[in-house]
Structure 1
Amino acid sequence: MITQGNINFFVNWGKERLDEMEATLTSLEASAAEMQSDVREKAAKVLADLGKQRDAFRETLKKQSQAGEAAWGEAKTKMDADWRVFEAEAGKYLESFGKQLEQQQATFKLQADAQLKAWREIADRLGGDAEKFASERRADIDVALKRMSADAAEAEKKLEKLKQAGTHSWSALMTALTETRHAFDRANEAAREAFKRAA
Protein backbone atom coordinates (compact mmCIF):
# COMPACT_ATOMS: atom_id res chain seq x y z
CA MET A 1 0.00 0.00 0.00
CA ILE A 2 1.31 3.43 -0.95
CA THR A 3 1.01 6.13 1.63
CA GLN A 4 1.37 9.87 1.28
CA GLY A 5 4.77 9.44 2.93
CA ASN A 6 5.94 7.20 0.09
CA ILE A 7 4.71 9.65 -2.50
CA ASN A 8 6.75 12.37 -0.80
CA PHE A 9 9.88 10.63 -2.06
CA PHE A 10 8.85 11.56 -5.59
CA VAL A 11 8.07 15.10 -4.44
CA ASN A 12 11.53 15.22 -2.83
CA TRP A 13 13.06 14.38 -6.19
CA GLY A 14 11.07 17.07 -7.99
CA LYS A 15 11.60 19.72 -5.32
CA GLU A 16 15.36 19.25 -5.44
CA ARG A 17 15.30 19.87 -9.22
CA LEU A 18 12.95 22.83 -8.84
CA ASP A 19 15.19 24.39 -6.18
CA GLU A 20 18.14 24.14 -8.57
CA MET A 21 16.07 25.73 -11.35
CA GLU A 22 15.21 28.62 -9.03
CA ALA A 23 18.85 29.07 -8.04
CA THR A 24 19.99 29.01 -11.65
CA LEU A 25 17.46 31.63 -12.72
CA THR A 26 18.28 33.84 -9.73
CA SER A 27 21.94 33.84 -10.69
CA LEU A 28 21.36 34.38 -14.40
CA GLU A 29 18.84 37.17 -13.86
CA ALA A 30 21.22 38.98 -11.54
CA SER A 31 23.95 39.01 -14.17
CA ALA A 32 21.60 40.02 -17.01
CA ALA A 33 21.06 43.43 -15.43
CA GLU A 34 24.78 44.17 -15.94
CA MET A 35 24.82 43.38 -19.66
CA GLN A 36 24.95 45.91 -22.45
CA SER A 37 21.51 46.75 -23.80
CA ASP A 38 21.88 45.00 -27.18
CA VAL A 39 22.88 41.72 -25.53
CA ARG A 40 20.50 42.18 -22.61
CA GLU A 41 17.43 41.90 -24.88
CA LYS A 42 18.57 38.55 -26.31
CA ALA A 43 19.46 37.33 -22.84
CA ALA A 44 16.06 38.43 -21.48
CA LYS A 45 14.28 36.31 -24.10
CA VAL A 46 16.27 33.21 -23.16
CA LEU A 47 15.70 33.89 -19.46
CA ALA A 48 11.96 34.24 -20.10
CA ASP A 49 11.97 30.84 -21.82
CA LEU A 50 13.89 29.32 -18.90
CA GLY A 51 11.36 30.88 -16.53
CA LYS A 52 8.50 29.29 -18.46
CA GLN A 53 10.21 25.91 -18.29
CA ARG A 54 10.66 26.31 -14.54
CA ASP A 55 7.02 27.37 -14.11
CA ALA A 56 5.79 24.36 -16.11
CA PHE A 57 7.98 22.05 -14.00
CA ARG A 58 6.61 23.63 -10.81
CA GLU A 59 3.02 23.22 -12.05
CA THR A 60 3.58 19.55 -12.92
CA LEU A 61 5.14 18.95 -9.51
CA LYS A 62 2.19 20.65 -7.82
CA LYS A 63 -0.34 18.55 -9.77
CA GLN A 64 1.55 15.33 -9.16
CA SER A 65 2.01 15.91 -5.43
CA GLN A 66 -1.36 14.23 -4.83
CA ALA A 67 -0.98 11.49 -7.44
CA GLY A 68 -0.36 7.82 -6.82
CA GLU A 69 2.91 6.01 -7.41
CA ALA A 70 1.94 4.69 -10.87
CA ALA A 71 1.09 8.19 -12.10
CA TRP A 72 4.38 9.44 -10.66
CA GLY A 73 6.35 6.91 -12.66
CA GLU A 74 5.05 8.37 -15.91
CA ALA A 75 5.29 11.98 -14.78
CA LYS A 76 8.81 11.56 -13.42
CA THR A 77 10.06 10.36 -16.81
CA LYS A 78 8.68 13.50 -18.46
CA MET A 79 9.86 15.76 -15.65
CA ASP A 80 13.34 14.28 -15.84
CA ALA A 81 13.44 15.05 -19.58
CA ASP A 82 12.17 18.58 -18.87
CA TRP A 83 14.89 19.00 -16.23
CA ARG A 84 17.60 17.94 -18.71
CA VAL A 85 16.29 20.44 -21.29
CA PHE A 86 16.35 23.22 -18.68
CA GLU A 87 19.86 22.29 -17.61
CA ALA A 88 21.11 22.22 -21.23
CA GLU A 89 19.47 25.57 -22.04
CA ALA A 90 20.96 27.17 -18.93
CA GLY A 91 24.37 25.86 -19.98
CA LYS A 92 23.93 27.34 -23.47
CA TYR A 93 22.92 30.63 -21.88
CA LEU A 94 26.10 30.72 -19.83
CA GLU A 95 28.19 29.89 -22.87
CA SER A 96 26.52 32.65 -24.89
CA PHE A 97 25.96 35.40 -22.34
CA GLY A 98 27.86 34.50 -19.19
CA LYS A 99 31.35 33.75 -20.38
CA GLN A 100 32.93 35.24 -17.31
CA LEU A 101 34.23 32.67 -14.90
CA GLU A 102 32.67 34.68 -12.06
CA GLN A 103 29.17 34.19 -13.51
CA GLN A 104 29.68 30.47 -13.88
CA GLN A 105 31.02 30.24 -10.34
CA ALA A 106 28.13 32.29 -8.95
CA THR A 107 25.60 30.07 -10.70
CA PHE A 108 27.34 26.91 -9.52
CA LYS A 109 27.43 28.18 -5.93
CA LEU A 110 23.71 28.90 -5.91
CA GLN A 111 22.90 25.53 -7.48
CA ALA A 112 25.15 23.69 -5.02
CA ASP A 113 23.62 25.55 -2.08
CA ALA A 114 20.10 24.70 -3.32
CA GLN A 115 21.03 21.05 -3.70
CA LEU A 116 22.58 20.84 -0.23
CA LYS A 117 19.62 22.64 1.33
CA ALA A 118 17.28 20.09 -0.25
CA TRP A 119 19.39 17.23 1.17
CA ARG A 120 19.23 18.70 4.67
CA GLU A 121 15.51 19.48 4.59
CA ILE A 122 14.60 16.05 3.29
CA ALA A 123 16.85 14.21 5.74
CA ASP A 124 15.35 16.21 8.62
CA ARG A 125 11.79 15.56 7.46
CA LEU A 126 12.43 11.85 6.95
CA GLY A 127 14.01 11.66 10.39
CA GLY A 128 10.80 13.09 11.83
CA ASP A 129 8.72 10.64 9.80
CA ALA A 130 10.85 7.73 11.04
CA GLU A 131 9.96 8.59 14.64
CA LYS A 132 6.40 7.46 13.90
CA PHE A 133 7.44 3.84 13.42
CA ALA A 134 7.84 1.37 16.26
CA SER A 135 11.48 0.78 17.15
CA GLU A 136 11.56 -2.78 15.78
CA ARG A 137 10.33 -1.53 12.39
CA ARG A 138 12.76 1.38 12.22
CA ALA A 139 16.07 -0.43 11.77
CA ASP A 140 16.07 -0.25 7.95
CA ILE A 141 14.86 3.34 8.04
CA ASP A 142 17.58 4.37 10.47
CA VAL A 143 20.24 2.75 8.28
CA ALA A 144 18.90 4.53 5.19
CA LEU A 145 18.74 7.87 6.98
CA LYS A 146 22.29 7.51 8.30
CA ARG A 147 23.42 6.69 4.79
CA MET A 148 21.58 9.73 3.42
CA SER A 149 23.23 11.96 6.02
CA ALA A 150 26.67 10.51 5.26
CA ASP A 151 26.12 10.94 1.51
CA ALA A 152 24.96 14.51 2.09
CA ALA A 153 28.07 15.29 4.13
CA GLU A 154 30.27 13.81 1.40
CA ALA A 155 28.46 15.79 -1.30
CA GLU A 156 28.79 18.95 0.76
CA LYS A 157 32.55 18.47 1.12
CA LYS A 158 32.93 17.89 -2.61
CA LEU A 159 30.83 20.90 -3.59
CA GLU A 160 32.45 23.18 -1.00
CA LYS A 161 35.89 22.22 -2.30
CA LEU A 162 34.85 23.13 -5.83
CA LYS A 163 33.23 26.38 -4.71
CA GLN A 164 36.42 27.44 -2.94
CA ALA A 165 38.76 26.45 -5.77
CA GLY A 166 36.97 28.74 -8.19
CA THR A 167 38.98 27.74 -11.26
CA HIS A 168 37.12 24.74 -12.62
CA SER A 169 35.44 24.70 -16.01
CA TRP A 170 31.67 24.88 -16.29
CA SER A 171 31.55 21.27 -17.48
CA ALA A 172 33.55 20.13 -14.43
CA LEU A 173 31.19 22.01 -12.11
CA MET A 174 28.12 20.54 -13.82
CA THR A 175 29.64 17.06 -13.63
CA ALA A 176 30.08 17.47 -9.88
CA LEU A 177 26.49 18.65 -9.46
CA THR A 178 25.25 15.74 -11.56
CA GLU A 179 27.22 13.27 -9.45
CA THR A 180 25.88 14.67 -6.18
CA ARG A 181 22.36 14.81 -7.64
CA HIS A 182 22.60 11.12 -8.52
CA ALA A 183 23.85 10.38 -5.01
CA PHE A 184 20.81 12.25 -3.68
CA ASP A 185 18.53 10.20 -5.93
CA ARG A 186 20.07 6.93 -4.74
CA ALA A 187 19.77 7.97 -1.09
CA ASN A 188 16.18 9.13 -1.60
CA GLU A 189 15.28 5.82 -3.28
CA ALA A 190 16.97 3.79 -0.52
CA ALA A 191 15.00 5.71 2.11
CA ARG A 192 11.79 5.19 0.13
CA GLU A 193 12.37 1.44 0.01
CA ALA A 194 13.18 1.35 3.74
CA PHE A 195 9.94 3.17 4.57
CA LYS A 196 7.96 0.79 2.34
CA ARG A 197 9.45 -2.26 4.09
CA ALA A 198 8.67 -0.80 7.51
CA ALA A 199 5.07 0.10 6.61
Structure 2
Amino acid sequence: MATQSSLHIYLNWAKERIDEMDATLAAFEAKVGGVQGEYRGKANDIIADLHKKRDEFQETVKKQAETNEAAWLRTKAQLESEWSNFEAQVKSYIETAGKHIDQQQSAFQEVATAQLKAWHEAADKVQAAATQFAADRRADIDAAAQRMKTDAATAEAQFQKLRQAGTESWTAFSAALTESRGAFDRANQAAWDAVKRADGPKS
Protein backbone atom coordinates (compact mmCIF):
# COMPACT_ATOMS: atom_id res chain seq x y z
CA MET A 1 0.00 0.00 0.00
CA ALA A 2 2.84 2.46 0.81
CA THR A 3 4.33 2.04 -2.66
CA GLN A 4 0.89 2.41 -4.18
CA SER A 5 0.28 5.62 -2.23
CA SER A 6 3.61 7.04 -3.44
CA LEU A 7 2.58 6.36 -7.01
CA HIS A 8 -0.81 8.01 -6.40
CA ILE A 9 0.98 11.26 -5.55
CA TYR A 10 2.67 11.31 -8.96
CA LEU A 11 -0.26 9.96 -10.93
CA ASN A 12 -2.62 12.59 -9.44
CA TRP A 13 -0.03 15.28 -10.16
CA ALA A 14 0.33 14.17 -13.78
CA LYS A 15 -3.39 13.65 -14.36
CA GLU A 16 -4.16 17.15 -13.09
CA ARG A 17 -1.69 18.60 -15.64
CA ILE A 18 -3.04 16.48 -18.50
CA ASP A 19 -6.60 17.51 -17.66
CA GLU A 20 -5.51 21.16 -17.72
CA MET A 21 -3.78 20.66 -21.06
CA ASP A 22 -6.91 19.09 -22.53
CA ALA A 23 -9.10 21.89 -21.15
CA THR A 24 -6.78 24.57 -22.54
CA LEU A 25 -6.76 22.97 -25.97
CA ALA A 26 -10.55 22.63 -25.98
CA ALA A 27 -10.96 26.31 -25.06
CA PHE A 28 -8.50 27.53 -27.70
CA GLU A 29 -9.94 25.30 -30.43
CA ALA A 30 -13.46 26.48 -29.67
CA LYS A 31 -12.41 30.14 -30.13
CA VAL A 32 -9.78 29.95 -32.89
CA GLY A 33 -12.46 30.54 -35.54
CA GLY A 34 -12.88 34.06 -34.20
CA VAL A 35 -9.18 34.92 -34.58
CA GLN A 36 -8.73 37.48 -37.33
CA GLY A 37 -6.41 37.62 -40.34
CA GLU A 38 -2.72 36.94 -39.98
CA TYR A 39 -3.14 35.81 -36.39
CA ARG A 40 -5.29 32.83 -37.40
CA GLY A 41 -2.33 30.94 -38.92
CA LYS A 42 -0.15 31.69 -35.90
CA ALA A 43 -2.94 30.58 -33.58
CA ASN A 44 -3.34 27.29 -35.44
CA ASP A 45 0.43 26.72 -35.34
CA ILE A 46 0.53 27.29 -31.59
CA ILE A 47 -2.46 24.98 -31.05
CA ALA A 48 -0.71 22.27 -33.10
CA ASP A 49 2.42 22.73 -30.97
CA LEU A 50 0.33 22.57 -27.78
CA HIS A 51 -1.19 19.27 -28.99
CA LYS A 52 2.30 17.91 -29.60
CA LYS A 53 3.50 18.97 -26.15
CA ARG A 54 0.41 17.46 -24.50
CA ASP A 55 0.89 14.17 -26.40
CA GLU A 56 4.57 13.97 -25.38
CA PHE A 57 3.69 14.67 -21.76
CA GLN A 58 0.94 12.04 -21.80
CA GLU A 59 3.24 9.47 -23.43
CA THR A 60 5.90 10.01 -20.76
CA VAL A 61 3.27 9.58 -18.03
CA LYS A 62 1.98 6.34 -19.63
CA LYS A 63 5.50 4.90 -19.69
CA GLN A 64 5.91 5.68 -15.97
CA ALA A 65 2.46 4.55 -14.83
CA GLU A 66 3.59 1.14 -13.61
CA THR A 67 7.08 2.02 -12.39
CA ASN A 68 8.35 2.72 -8.90
CA GLU A 69 8.81 5.92 -6.92
CA ALA A 70 12.49 6.32 -7.81
CA ALA A 71 11.66 6.19 -11.53
CA TRP A 72 8.90 8.76 -11.00
CA LEU A 73 11.27 11.10 -9.17
CA ARG A 74 13.68 10.98 -12.11
CA THR A 75 10.91 11.54 -14.62
CA LYS A 76 9.07 14.26 -12.70
CA ALA A 77 11.80 16.82 -13.44
CA GLN A 78 11.39 16.10 -17.16
CA LEU A 79 7.60 16.37 -16.86
CA GLU A 80 7.88 19.66 -14.96
CA SER A 81 10.03 21.02 -17.77
CA GLU A 82 7.48 19.84 -20.38
CA TRP A 83 4.70 21.45 -18.32
CA SER A 84 6.61 24.76 -18.21
CA ASN A 85 7.04 24.62 -22.00
CA PHE A 86 3.31 24.03 -22.41
CA GLU A 87 2.51 26.99 -20.16
CA ALA A 88 4.92 29.20 -22.12
CA GLN A 89 3.10 28.28 -25.34
CA VAL A 90 -0.25 29.07 -23.71
CA LYS A 91 1.08 32.52 -22.84
CA SER A 92 2.30 32.90 -26.42
CA TYR A 93 -1.18 32.00 -27.72
CA ILE A 94 -2.83 34.54 -25.42
CA GLU A 95 -0.38 37.24 -26.52
CA THR A 96 -0.79 36.38 -30.21
CA ALA A 97 -4.39 35.37 -30.71
CA GLY A 98 -6.22 35.34 -27.41
CA LYS A 99 -6.10 39.01 -26.51
CA HIS A 100 -9.88 39.30 -26.38
CA ILE A 101 -11.12 39.02 -22.82
CA ASP A 102 -13.83 36.50 -23.81
CA GLN A 103 -11.15 34.11 -25.11
CA GLN A 104 -9.18 34.49 -21.90
CA GLN A 105 -12.27 34.00 -19.77
CA SER A 106 -13.26 30.92 -21.78
CA ALA A 107 -9.81 29.36 -21.35
CA PHE A 108 -9.79 30.23 -17.65
CA GLN A 109 -13.25 28.70 -17.17
CA GLU A 110 -12.24 25.43 -18.87
CA VAL A 111 -8.97 25.10 -16.98
CA ALA A 112 -10.52 26.06 -13.63
CA THR A 113 -13.21 23.41 -14.16
CA ALA A 114 -10.51 20.81 -14.94
CA GLN A 115 -8.58 21.77 -11.78
CA LEU A 116 -11.63 21.49 -9.56
CA LYS A 117 -12.48 18.11 -11.07
CA ALA A 118 -8.93 16.93 -10.27
CA TRP A 119 -9.30 18.16 -6.66
CA HIS A 120 -12.52 16.18 -6.17
CA GLU A 121 -11.25 13.02 -7.88
CA ALA A 122 -8.08 13.04 -5.76
CA ALA A 123 -10.09 13.53 -2.55
CA ASP A 124 -12.36 10.63 -3.54
CA LYS A 125 -9.32 8.37 -4.12
CA VAL A 126 -7.92 9.27 -0.72
CA GLN A 127 -11.25 8.52 0.95
CA ALA A 128 -11.45 5.20 -0.90
CA ALA A 129 -7.95 4.35 0.37
CA ALA A 130 -9.06 5.20 3.92
CA THR A 131 -11.73 2.49 3.84
CA GLN A 132 -8.98 -0.14 3.62
CA PHE A 133 -7.80 0.67 7.13
CA ALA A 134 -9.22 0.00 10.56
CA ALA A 135 -10.95 2.99 12.19
CA ASP A 136 -8.01 3.74 14.50
CA ARG A 137 -5.73 4.25 11.48
CA ARG A 138 -8.20 6.21 9.36
CA ALA A 139 -8.49 9.53 11.21
CA ASP A 140 -5.50 11.26 9.54
CA ILE A 141 -6.55 10.08 6.09
CA ASP A 142 -10.13 11.24 6.57
CA ALA A 143 -8.84 14.60 7.83
CA ALA A 144 -6.53 14.95 4.81
CA ALA A 145 -9.38 14.15 2.41
CA GLN A 146 -11.57 16.70 4.17
CA ARG A 147 -8.79 19.32 3.91
CA MET A 148 -8.59 18.60 0.17
CA LYS A 149 -12.31 19.24 -0.17
CA THR A 150 -12.06 22.44 1.87
CA ASP A 151 -9.11 23.64 -0.22
CA ALA A 152 -11.07 22.81 -3.40
CA ALA A 153 -13.96 24.93 -2.13
CA THR A 154 -11.54 27.79 -1.43
CA ALA A 155 -10.10 27.52 -4.95
CA GLU A 156 -13.59 27.42 -6.42
CA ALA A 157 -14.58 30.58 -4.52
CA GLN A 158 -11.46 32.35 -5.79
CA PHE A 159 -12.19 31.29 -9.36
CA GLN A 160 -15.78 32.47 -9.00
CA LYS A 161 -14.62 35.86 -7.76
CA LEU A 162 -12.38 36.26 -10.81
CA ARG A 163 -15.16 35.18 -13.17
CA GLN A 164 -17.57 37.69 -11.67
CA ALA A 165 -15.03 40.51 -11.99
CA GLY A 166 -15.23 39.89 -15.73
CA THR A 167 -12.31 42.09 -16.73
CA GLU A 168 -9.32 40.34 -15.22
CA SER A 169 -6.20 39.89 -17.32
CA TRP A 170 -4.69 36.53 -18.27
CA THR A 171 -1.94 37.33 -15.77
CA ALA A 172 -4.53 37.35 -12.95
CA PHE A 173 -6.23 34.21 -14.28
CA SER A 174 -2.89 32.42 -14.64
CA ALA A 175 -1.79 33.45 -11.13
CA ALA A 176 -5.02 32.07 -9.62
CA LEU A 177 -4.60 28.78 -11.51
CA THR A 178 -0.96 28.50 -10.44
CA GLU A 179 -1.87 29.16 -6.81
CA SER A 180 -4.61 26.53 -6.92
CA ARG A 181 -2.32 24.04 -8.64
CA GLY A 182 0.30 24.50 -5.92
CA ALA A 183 -2.32 24.03 -3.21
CA PHE A 184 -3.51 20.87 -4.99
CA ASP A 185 0.03 19.48 -5.09
CA ARG A 186 0.56 20.15 -1.37
CA ALA A 187 -2.82 18.66 -0.42
CA ASN A 188 -2.23 15.63 -2.64
CA GLN A 189 1.19 15.04 -1.03
CA ALA A 190 -0.20 15.45 2.51
CA ALA A 191 -3.11 13.10 1.85
CA TRP A 192 -0.98 10.29 0.47
CA ASP A 193 1.60 10.80 3.21
CA ALA A 194 -1.29 10.18 5.65
CA VAL A 195 -2.07 6.95 3.80
CA LYS A 196 1.58 5.90 4.05
CA ARG A 197 1.64 6.61 7.80
CA ALA A 198 -1.52 4.59 8.30
CA ASP A 199 0.07 1.72 6.40
CA GLY A 200 3.20 1.79 8.57
CA PRO A 201 3.77 -0.12 11.78
CA LYS A 202 1.46 0.91 14.59
CA SER A 203 3.25 2.87 17.32
TM-score interval, normalised by the smaller of the two chains: over 0.9
User: Residue 93 of structure 1 aligns with which residue?
Assistant: 93
1:27 aligns with 2:27: yes
Using structure 1 for the length normalisation, give the TM-score: 0.95
Aligned residue in 1 for 2:54: 54
Q: Any residues of structure 2 matched to 1:99-178 within 5 Å, and which?
A: 99-178=99-178
* Deviation, structure 1 residue 43: 1.6
| Alpha-carbon contact 2:94-2:104 (below 8 Å) kept | yes
Partners of 1:170 and 1:64 in 2: how far apart? 33
Larger displacement relative to structure 2 (77-86 or 37-46): 37-46
Name the TM-score, length of structure 2 as normaliser. Answer: 0.93
Residue in structure 1 matched with residue 195 of structure 2 by the alignment? 195
Q: How many residues in Structure 1 have an aligned counterpart in Structure 2?
A: 199
Q: In the aligned structure 1, how far is the partner of 2:170 from the partner of 2:39?
A: 21
What is the CA–CA distance in structure 2 between the aligned matches of 1:34 and 1:162, rounded to whole Å? 24
How well do the aligned residues superpose, as a CA RMSD in angstroms?
1.3
* Structure 1: unaligned runs, 5 residues or longer: none
**In structure 1, what is the Cα distance between the partners aligned to 2:14 and 2:139?**
27
CA contact (8 A) 2:3 2:69 kept: no
Structure 1 residue ranges, 4+ long, deviating more than 4 angstroms after superposition: none
Aligned-pair CA distance for 1:37 = 5.3
Structure 2 unaligned blocks of 5 or more: none
SS of the aligned residue for 1:3 comes to: helix
